[in-house]
């Protein structure tokens, strides 16, 4: 951990410290993000005109937008609600004014600014160099519409400033998971988890969840509803019945999106006389005179494919054959 912080402060010195030392200047990011309840670090460096003599005493103060002291070199001067949560990380004598806020709250947003008081020389408030702090919300990205059986990639990411405790990710769906953390600029990091999986029809309208666990066992969840599309599947429970010369056939189809269903009786293509939909299941009913026919052909199709089945019409005195799958003949 010591090595990580050393590298962090080296990063601040190289990336943030201004080269101009003849005026009161400060360098802070305009905004930083952190995870709720974790900590956030605001990289900060400052400069001041050359005092021409040696300086010995430095007092650093951070204020919020209400000019309340949220961090002070003298802890007793810090507002009670921040006293145990904020601290100066850098060496003020080396012009490092970096601030850490622990147990980050929504109310810590600021904007915040830094003030330096140099004993026996001068003091200055860097009100033109304010930084806003926000609680990072996770982002879950996945295709709005996926096809059954295809490779699907989902990513879950979050911004933070806590390299010593990078977040860990847990997905609600099985698959191949790859996690990485990358350093951005001005003390910010981005952790991302990518899940590659093969959705099936049972995943349709189900929630894909990403759980992010971070510092002190805290966690946050984000989710998306999966929209899985698949070709028609005519169920073997489809059947026909016959009474008093009237045939009634039910063709039960599962598909997403819903299918167009047709019946063929002899050389006639017939629309159903009744249709019911229950989620991804469509029940189409044909009721007509059977004539001398022994079978009814049911066909279903959507933009992903088709299915078909041959339903037998029961005849008094003959055994009901039920259904015959014709897909092998197509």
CA 154 to chain centre: 8
Say what the pLDDT of residue 55 is.
Answer: 81
Residues 99 and 155 in one domain: no
Assign 326 a pLDDT band (cuts: 50, 70, 90). very low
Q: What angle do CA 306, 310, 311 make, to 5 degrees?
A: 125
How far apart (Å, rounded) are the C-alpha atoms in residues 313 and 276? 22
Q: Which long-range contacts (CB under 8 A, 24 or more apart) does 124-127 make?
A: 124/24, 124/48, 125/63, 126/24, 126/25, 126/26, 126/28, 126/46
pLDDT at 79: 93
What is the per-residue pLDDT across 28-63, written as a single tens digit (0 to 9) for each? 999 999 999 989 999 999 999 988 888 889 999 999
DSSP class of residue 96? B
Q: How many domains does the chain contain in total? A: 3
Radius of gyration of the chain (CA): 34
Residue 3 backbone dihedrals phi, psi, to 5 degrees: -60, -40
- pLDDT number for residue 215: 81
175 and 198 belong to one structural domain? yes
18-22, 155-159, 187-191, 274-278: lowest mean pLDDT where? 18-22
Instruction: Give Cα separations from 205 to 149, 172, 238 (angstroms).
Output: 16, 14, 25
Q: How confident is the model at residue 279 (pLDDT cuts 50, 70, 90)?
A: confident
Residue 130 shares a structural domain with residue 148: no
Pair (60, 115) in one structural domain: yes
- Whether 65 contacts 110, CB under 8 Å: yes
Phi-psi region of 65 (alpha: psi -120 to 50; beta: other; left: phi over 0): alpha
Tokens encoding 235:
């169920």
Single out the residue in 226, 256, 286 at which a domain terminates.
Answer: 226
Instruction: Give the bridge partners for 72, in sequence order.
Output: 61
Could you read off the pLDDT of 218-236 as tens digits, one per residue? 899 999 999 999 999 999 9
Rounded distance between C-alpha atoms, residue 57 and residue 216, angstroms: 36
What pLDDT does residue 47 have? 94
Q: Which two tokens stand for residue 228?
A: 């899985």
Asked if residue 206 and residue 260 are part of one domain, the reply reads no
The reply to whether 181 and 205 lie within a common domain is: yes
Q: Please provide the DSSP assignment of 50-70 as one string.
A: --SS----EEEEEE-TT--EE
Domain end position, chosen among 226, 255, 282: 226
Residue 274 tokens read as: 């009744």
Give the pLDDT score at 3.
40
Q: What is the largest CA-CA distance in the chain?
A: 117
Q: How confident is the model at residue 247 (pLDDT cuts 50, 70, 90)?
A: confident
User: Which domain covers residue 183, as residue numbers?
Assistant: 137-226
Q: Tell me, what CATH number does 164's domain have? A: 2.60.40.10
Beta-carbon count within 10 A of 81 CB: 13
Distance of CA 51 to the CA centre of its chain: 52
- What's the pLDDT score for residue 7? 43
**What confidence score (pLDDT) does residue 201 get?**
94
CB 240 within 8 A of CB 295: no
Question: What is the pLDDT confidence band of residue 245, given thresholds at 50, 70 and 90?
Answer: confident
Kindly state whether residues 288 and 210 are assigned to the same domain: no
**Model confidence, pTM:** 0.77
Determine the Cα–Cα distance for residues 94 and 117; give it in Å rounded to an integer. Answer: 14
**Mean pLDDT throughout 266-278?**
84
Residues 7 and 121 in one domain: yes
Residues 73 and 177 in one domain: no
Token pair listed for 99:
């601030």
My answer on whether 210 and 234 are in the same domain is: no
Res 117 pLDDT > 90: yes
- Final residue belonging to a domain, choices 205, 226, 247: 226
Indicate whether 304 and 258 sit together in one domain: yes
Same domain, 301 and 271: yes
For residue 319, name the pLDDT band (cuts at 50, 70, 90): very low
Report the DSSP pairing between strands 228-234 and 146-147: parallel
């Amino acid at each position: 951990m010591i090595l990580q912080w050393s590298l962090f402060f080296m990063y601040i010195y190289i990336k943030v410290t201004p080269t101009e030392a003849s005026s009161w200047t400060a360098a802070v990011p305009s905004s930083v993000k952190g995870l709720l309840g974790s900590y956030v670090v605001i990289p900060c460096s400052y400069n001041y005109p050359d005092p021409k003599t040696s300086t010995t005493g430095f007092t650093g103060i951070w204020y919020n937008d209400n000019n309340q002291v949220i961090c002070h070199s003298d802890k007793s001067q810090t507002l009670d609600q921040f006293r145990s949560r904020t601290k100066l990380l850098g060496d003020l004598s080396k012009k490092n004014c970096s601030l850490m806020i622990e147990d980050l709250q929504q109310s810590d947003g600021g904007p915040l600014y830094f003030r330096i008081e140099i004993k026996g020389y001068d003091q200055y408030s860097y009100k033109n160099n304010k930084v806003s702090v926000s609680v990072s919300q996770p982002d879950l990205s996945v295709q709005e519409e996926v096809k059954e059986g295809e490779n699907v990639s989902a990513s879950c990411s979050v911004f933070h400033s806590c390299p010593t405790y990078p977040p860990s990710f847990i997905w609600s769906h099985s698959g191949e998971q790859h996690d990485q953390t990358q350093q951005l600029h001005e003390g910010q990091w981005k952790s991302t988890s990518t899940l590659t999986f093969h959705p099936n029809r049972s995943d349709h309208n189900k929630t894909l969840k990403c759980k992010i666990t971070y510092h002190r066992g805290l966690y946050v969840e984000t989710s998306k509803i999966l929209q899985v599309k698949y070709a028609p599947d005519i169920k073997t429970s489809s059947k026909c019945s016959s009474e008093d010369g009237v045939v009634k056939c039910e063709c039960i189809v599962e598909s997403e999106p819903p299918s167009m269903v047709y019946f063929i009786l002899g050389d006639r293509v017939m629309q159903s006389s009744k249709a019911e939909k229950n989620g991804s299941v469509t029940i189409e009913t044909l009721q007509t005179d059977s004539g001398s026919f022994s079978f009814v052909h049911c066909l279903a199709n959507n933009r992903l494919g088709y299915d078909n089945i041959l339903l037998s019409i029961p005849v008094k005195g003959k055994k009901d054959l039920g259904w015959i799958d014709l897909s092998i003949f197509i």
